[in-house]
Copies of this chain bind each other. A is one copy, B any other.
Amino acid sequence: MTADYFHFLNIIGVAFFAISGTLLGHDKDIGGFGVVVVGTVTALGGGTLRDVLLNQPVFWIAQPDYLYATYAAIFVAVIFIRYMPDVSNYYMLLVDAIGMAIFNVVGIEKALIEGTTMIVAITMGMTTGIFGGLMRDVICREVPLVMRDELYSTACFCGGLAYAALFLLGVPYLWCIFGSLFITVFLRLGALHWGWQPNIFRKRTIRK
């Protein structure tokens, strides 16, 4: 992935997560800058953890563009909600799904660039994709999306597997990215629409 694609994808992911944090913050009826804090933590949390773990300069300190994108996305989301106050929680989940898919790919890419093995890279992708939303849910005292029944971390993991498979098959970077994004978003939105639930790890409660 060239630096330009990386930058572009990262900006989009940051903006989507900033919007998801703002939507949940509004839903909780915080007044004032609390909404900005929640939006910012959601947008920057995952990528910040990734950079700290990889011992790289934190992306939004090295390039304040990301900070401008975060604040701009929060501002737009706030204006938007003011005039459409009955926006449902569904939009938050939608925006979060796309942000997660993007951050998953970005995390995998950045880890591979730093020379980690594929298993570390997939773990780093899940960290980047999940951590921001997890902090958002913890601060807002919601049940974290990771803990709910629909495919969430499963979708993230399958997107990582798809990336690894395409990468090992020698497919060009851009198609690895699109493949991974497609799988993650497809599984997550499918789970939201049709209620797909993974039961692989669940306790067997009925045994006869």
A112 within 8 A of B: no
Most buried by B among A78, A144, A201: A201
Contact yes or no, B153 A200, CB < 8 A: no
CA distance A144 to B140 in the complex (A): 8
Most buried by B among A34, A55, A200: A34
CA distance A58 to B117 in the complex (A): 14
Contact yes or no, A199 B53, CB < 8 A: no
A163 within 8 A of B: no
| Smallest CB separation, A150 vs chain B (Å) | 9
Q: Which residue of B lies closest to A141 (CB)?
A: B143
A203 within 8 A of B: yes
Set B32, B64, B207: member contacting A153, Cβ < 8 A: B32
Residues of A within 8 A of B (CB): 26, 28-38, 40, 48, 52-55, 57-58, 60-61, 64, 67-68, 78, 81-82, 85, 116-117, 119-120, 123-124, 126, 130, 134, 138-141, 143-144, 146-149, 151-154, 156-157, 197-205, 207
New contact pairs (16) apart from A32-B201, A40-B123, CB-CB < 8 Å: A28-B147, A30-B146, A33-B154, A33-B198, A34-B148, A34-B152, A34-B153, A54-B61, A60-B123, A64-B119, A67-B120, A82-B203, A82-B204, A85-B203, A85-B205, A140-B147
